[in-house]
Amino acid sequence: MRAAGVTAARRLDALLVAPDAERGERTVCYAGALAGTVFATALALRAPYAWPALTVIAVVAFDLFGGTVVNATRSAKRRFHRPGRSRLHHFAFVAAHVQPFALALLVPGFGWISAAAVYALTLAGAACVLVAPADLRRPVAFAVSALAITAATTSVAVPGELAWFAPVLVIKLLLAHLLPER
């Protein structure tokens, strides 16, 4: 029975980090995910949120803080930027990140307009990065990330406890995920 548990844990680890992640990469990824989750949950505990809201905040924080680190690793770059991966694959990965709507659904004060704005900023930024010539993708990614983070933090109403959300989402997807290893 222990072998089945180990195998399941390895599969989960390969899914969360990367199939061929080195020990150091896994350690840094899980440490980042844990630290971000603790920090975001501690912030959320300052608000009178019910347990469903606290749970979704913790899960989203684990995914975003951990994913920011994971997507920056060499092993994840090999996984996501391997031959045969197209711009459409990368855009679909970004589009699949519907966490703004999960927050709008369960967290009071994080409205649907805010969710749609953060999601649209992220998708627009991804489109800009993906249509840029390969030699300009890095500077374009930084330019649109800076603009998206500024727009999201100055123009979108979110509870103070979730001020981290849009910047970390943008960093995870536009800077960490979309940029291949050089």
Over 60: is that where the pLDDT of 50 sits? yes
Report residue 179's pLDDT band, with 50, 70 and 90 as the boundaries. very high
Region 90-94 average pLDDT: 96
Q: For residue 120, which of 146, 143, 140, 101 has the smallest C-alpha distance?
A: 101
Residue 134 pLDDT grade (very low, low, confident, very high; cuts 50, 70, 90): very high
pLDDT at 155 over 70: yes
Distance of CA 24 to the CA centre of its chain: 20
pTM of the model: 0.91
Do residues 75 and 22 make contact, with C-beta atoms less than 8 angstroms apart?
yes
Say if residue 75's pLDDT is above 90: no
Q: Tell me which of 12-16, 24-28, 129-133, 154-158 is least confident.
A: 12-16
How far apart are the C-alpha atoms of 54 and 160, rounded to whole Å?
A: 14
Q: What gap in Å lies between CA 50 and CA 34, rounded to an integer?
A: 21
